[in-house]
Structure formats: structure tokens, C-alpha cells
Amino acid sequence: MIKFEKVSKSYPNGFHALQNINLNIAEGEMVLLTGHSGAGKTTLLKLIMMIERISSGALFFQNKNINKIRRNKIAAIRQEIGMVFQNAKLLTDRTVYENVASPLVINGYKPAEIKKRVRAALDKVGLSNKENMLPIALSMGEQQRVGLARAVINKPKLILADEPTGNLDPQLSAEMFQLLKEFNNVGVTVLIATHDLPLIATMPYRILTLRQGNLIGTQNAVNLITETA
Amino acid sequence: MPSTSLPKQPNRQAQYPKIQYYFLLRLRGLLCALGEFIRHPSSSVTTLLVIAIAMTLPTGLLLFLKNIESIGQAWHGNPSISLYVDPQTSVQQLQIIKAKLSTLPGVANLQYISPEQGLSELIESSQFKNVLAELPNNPLPSVFVVTPIFNEGNALALNRLLQQLQSINGITQGELDATWLKRLYYIVMIGERLSYTLAFLFALGVVLIIGNTIRLTTEKHHDEINVMKLLGAKDSFIKRPLHYRGVLYGFLGSALSWMIINVLIAEIEKPTSVLVESYQSTFHLQHLPFLGGLLLILIGSLLGFLGAYFSVHRQLKQPEFL
């Protein structure tokens, strides 16, 4: 699904955000990406989302070298990726329903299909009774779940989550992870960037650790916690 | 998926057919633009008024000059052009010049005044008859007096005819015997150049006003635009409502400008007629013609689009963020 081949990313000021990354994420896999602040987690996600381009190496998404994709084709690739942001990034002047529906509106779905899918997605994240509310009336946990519903509404092949539990308490964080696991269970590839070590320690998934832009390998959660402490 | 699964991948009927989607996107753009316009009535109306004023000033000035020009056209006097012939010109050459002048379009009548005839007329009308009579040589040149045909009696056409006549070989100088018409011609010319310069500056102003309004909108919705792009919206999906908004501003602003001009003309029409009638002349103020009004709206819409285009283009070039 995703393949990094000797990928490096550096900035004009000489900062090397990622160095010589080799990584392979299989279809249907759930992978956790961790590391300290500034380790390069968000940069890695940005490269997959083509918010930024790699400096060297090759990056494949579904066997397509996305670094060679032209600017006007980026939107089509992004439509296959569901993005969950740290602070939900909901449109504050739109209702929950409208927020979740936006990827479908972009793709030209008919209202009946939009309604069917939005209702199902909101039902899945437990917010079907709040579809007419504005985001401001929701708690952080609810906002994050709306963000997740929006991310999955277009049936993405990949979900990228950037610190999805960053603003949530432990219980809400666990619920969020549970939802992501459920989507993974139906075959969606999930890549989560997080530094919520106590939570990921309980998970049986592959954990990738970044340190100063280098991928220092796959670790199990217990080793990771010991090392970080 | 556990308990409640999302619907399966839809068939093609779940999405609009391409042609229908093409038009729907444009309709959506228009509705978004109108919605934004209605949601912020005070700022929208203020921007519209500024655009209308910016478009009224050069258009109004041009229309004013057209009216001034038609005062010259409406003038029923009979101007003449005096053409002074080179003293070295032979009698044969004089005949050639005369023949050439009489065949020119725009010349209604031609009169030849020889140097002798000219001197005798001068002696008769001058206070210095004795001095003039004592001159050893006649210093006056031969003169052709050209009367233009009636419909050539406007300032611009007369000046064009004068320039044409002056270019004839053997003519040293030409003089239009209607100084005020000459002045009017130059005033109109200066005014025209001034109004074209003003039109350019105000057009630039309209582009900047609309560009700035759209820039403020895009800055206000910066996060929203960023999210929509990350959700897979194409640039055109984001740009279209903003472009339409620019066009809408230009369209409505110029339509308002057209209305203001017509109201102004209607206001001054009656007093102008009374003034002109007091000079025993007839003159009717020109309104902005229908096609002129449409052209004004077209230009306004185009300027609106340009303002929005440059503003949105710059905004979309800004880096995205997570």
C-alpha cells in the first residue's frame, strides 16, 4: 500500500526532517508511528498526503510513485486517503452532517447517497443524534469522532491519523483507537502518528519509531516504553 | 465492520453523470457566491458602491465629452478654412492645387483670393490705408478659402480636413476660421486622453478592490480551504465560487454605475435644454446607449474576474498544513 524507498526530506535551511527512510506498509495493516516531537512523524504523513514533496528517494502509494504525480492529480490521490487531524479541523460554520458530507459533495455524490452514507458513518461513531449541531456545540471527543466519520465517508483505502488523541482524555483516546481498529478490521489500512505510549502499549500492532528523522526500526510497545522512560 | 457497517461501494448511479456534475458545480459556485454576498450585506454593498463610483467617474467623463463634442456637431455656423499658397507657386501649379481642392470630399465651396485682391481688401478695411498703399511689393500670398460641407461642421472632422488640406503640395499654411471650434477640439482631445487614463487607473482600482475583498475572504477561510484541499477538493472546486463572486461584484457594480449615469443625465437634461434653447440652438444630451451599458457591464465583470483570479491564485499557492 505504502512504500518508502530511501526517502529523505530536507528543507532549504538545511534541516533534515527525514533521512533515508525505508518502509513498507501492507494493505489492510494497522501501523503506529511514534517518536518525540520533531522526530519527523508529521513530515512523514505530509509526504504521503503530498502536502510536501520528498527531497530524494521514491515514495509509492498503491504502486504509484506519488512524487512524480503532477499537481492537478493530487486531489484524486487524496480522495483515496482519509485524514484524521489532531484538532479535528471541522468547518465551524457547517453542521456535523455537512462536515461529514463534504468529501462526498466534492466527489459529486447524489443527495440520497450522501444522506445514506453520512447517517451510517455518524451511527458508526455514535453521533447520529447530533447531525444538525454545529461543531462548537460538541465536546473535543465528539469533534474528533466527527473528524473520523468524515475521514471514512468516502471509503478510503488508507486512513492517516495525526495525533488523533492529542487533545483527548485517556478514556476518549481509547474509544478513538477502538474506532480506528474497527475500520482496520474491515480492511482499511491505518497509519497513526501518536506519542500516546501508555495506550499503544496495549496494542498488538507494528510500531515504527522515528528519532531525529531516522526510522530506528520496529519495536514492541514494552521495549518502546522502557527505552523512552 | 462490526455492528453498523458503512454502505458498500456505490454503483455509478450514486454519483451525478459527468455532464450533470459539470453544470452542478457551476451552479454550486454561483449559489456559494450569492450566499456569501447575502450573508455579509453591509460589506457587500459598500464594495459594490466603491466599484460603481470607480466605474462611473471615467464612464461619466467620457459621456460628458461625447456631449461636448456633439455641441460642436450641433453648431450650425459656417466655418471656412483659409489656405495660404507658397508665393513661389506658378500659375499652372495654382491651377493644379485648385483642381485638387475642388475634388476633395468634404469641400463644399472653393474661393480663390489673389494677392492683389487680398491687398485691396486689406487696404479697404485697415486704418493704415496710406501706409499699405505705399508698400513697394505686395507681401500677401494667394489664398484659397475652403467652405466645408455642412455635415463636416464638427470640430474633429474640421481639424481632420484642415490637416488633409495642409498636406497638399504648395500650401504653406492653413487656418480654420473658427478659433473656438479649434479650442473645443483640443479640450475634447485632452479630456479624452484624461478619461482614458482615468479609465485605466479606475479599472486597476476595481481589480484591486475586488482582489482585496476576495483576498480578505480567502484569508478568513484559509483553514477551511486547507481542509477542503486535504479532503481531495480540486483547486477549481475551491476557486470557482470565489471567481464567481468577483464576477458578481463587477457585474452588479457596473450595472449600478450604468444606473447612476442615467440618473445623472436625466437630472441635468432639462436645465441643459433650457440653457441651449436660450442660445437659439437645439441640443439633446446623449444617454449611455444600451450597447454601451452592456459593454460597461461586460468590462466590469471581466475586471471582477481578474481581481478574483489574481487573489485566489496567490492564496492557493500558499503552503498547505496539517
A77 within 8 A of A61, measured Cβ to Cβ: yes
Q: In what order do the strands lie in the sheet with A16-25?
A: A16-25, A2-10, A56-61, A64-65
Indicate if the pLDDT at residue B73 is higher than 70: no
What secondary structure letter does DSSP report for A55? S
- Binary contact (B234, A152; C-beta < 8 A): no
CA-based angle A211:A217:A219, to the nearest 5? 105
B12 Cβ under 8 Å from any chain A Cβ: no
Give pLDDT tens digits for B181-226.
667 778 878 888 888 898 899 999 999 999 998 999 888 888 999 9
Burial label for A112, CB within 10 Å (0-12, 13-18, 19+), is exposed
Rounded-to-integer distance, Cα B209 and Cα B304, Å: 9
Pick from A151, A85, A208, A30: nearest CA to B6:
A151
Average pLDDT in the B314-318 region? 86
Give pLDDT tens digits for B113-172.
998 888 888 887 776 777 777 788 888 899 999 988 755 446 677 778 888 888 898 899
- The pLDDT score that the predictor gives to residue B277 is 75
Burial label for A58, CB within 10 Å (0-12, 13-18, 19+), is middle
Enter the C-alpha cell of residue B256: 449600478
- The pLDDT score that the predictor gives to residue B162 is 86
Give pLDDT tens digits for B22-69.
999 999 999 999 998 898 899 999 999 999 999 999 999 889 888 877
Residues in chain A closer than 8 A to B233 (CB atoms): 75, 106
- The pLDDT score that the predictor gives to residue A20 is 95
Q: Where are the beta strands (DSSP E) in A130-211?
A: 158-162, 189-193, 206-211
**Residue type for B192, please?**
E
Best of A110, A182, A188 to disrupt the B interface (most B CBs within 10 Å) is: A110
Average pLDDT in the B308-314 region? 92
Rounded-to-integer distance, Cα B105 and Cα B123, Å: 34
Give pLDDT tens digits for B104-127.
888 888 999 998 888 888 887 776
- Binary contact (A186, B5; C-beta < 8 A): yes
- Binary contact (A182, B321; C-beta < 8 A): no
- The one-digit pLDDT tens for each residue of chain A (229 residues) are 999 999 999 999 999 999 999 999 999 999 999 998 889 999 999 999 999 999 999 999 999 999 889 988 999 999 999 999 988 999 999 999 999 999 999 999 999 999 999 999 999 999 999 999 999 999 999 999 999 999 999 999 999 999 999 888 888 899 999 999 999 999 999 999 998 888 888 888 999 999 999 998 776 655 555 555 4
Give the nearest partner residue to B6 out of A86, A102, A120, using CB atoms.
A120
B88 Cβ under 8 Å from any chain A Cβ: no
| Residue listed under C-alpha cell 461584484 | B249
The residue with greater pLDDT, B66 or B178, is B66
- The pLDDT score that the predictor gives to residue B3 is 39
- Binary contact (A46, B322; C-beta < 8 A): yes
- Binary contact (B15, A108; C-beta < 8 A): yes
Average pLDDT in the B241-263 region? 95
Indicate if the pLDDT at residue B5 is higher than 50: no
Give the nearest partner residue to A113 out of B2, B10, B223, using CB atoms.
B10
Rounded-to-integer distance, Cα B9 and Cα B14, Å: 9
Enter the C-alpha cell of residue B44: 457587500
- Binary contact (B7, A120; C-beta < 8 A): yes
Give the nearest partner residue to B232 out of A42, A78, A124, using CB atoms.
A78
- The pLDDT score that the predictor gives to residue B237 is 93
Indicate if the pLDDT at residue B76 is higher than 60: no
pLDDT category of residue B279 using cuts at 50, 70 and 90: low
For residue B1, what is the nearest residue in chain A, using CA coordinates? A186
Could you tell me the pTM of the whole model? 0.73
- Binary contact (A124, B10; C-beta < 8 A): no
Best of A77, A102, A118, A181 to disrupt the B interface (most B CBs within 10 Å) is: A102
Alpha helices in chain B (DSSP H): 18-39, 41-74, 91-103, 115-125, 129-133, 155-166, 179-220, 222-230, 235-277, 290-316
- Binary contact (B15, A117; C-beta < 8 A): no
Q: Where are the beta strands (DSSP E) in chain A?
A: 2-10, 16-25, 30-34, 56-61, 64-65, 81-84, 158-162, 189-193, 206-211, 214-219
B22 Cβ under 8 Å from any chain A Cβ: no
B27 Cβ under 8 Å from any chain A Cβ: no
Helices B179-220 and B41-74 meet at what angle, rounded to 10? Answer: 170
Give residue A159's region: left, alpha or beta (phi > 0; psi -120 to 50). beta
Rounded-to-integer distance, Cα B213 and Cα B35, Å: 15
Find how far residue A167's CA is from the centre of its chain: 15
- The pLDDT score that the predictor gives to residue B7 is 47
Give the nearest partner residue to A42 out of B231, B234, B322, using CB atoms.
B322
- The pLDDT score that the predictor gives to residue A221 is 56
- The pLDDT score that the predictor gives to residue B50 is 93
- Binary contact (B231, A72; C-beta < 8 A): no
- The pLDDT score that the predictor gives to residue B10 is 47
**Residue type for B219, please?**
E
The residue with greater pLDDT, A46 or B4, is A46
What does pLDDT average to over chain B?
A: 85
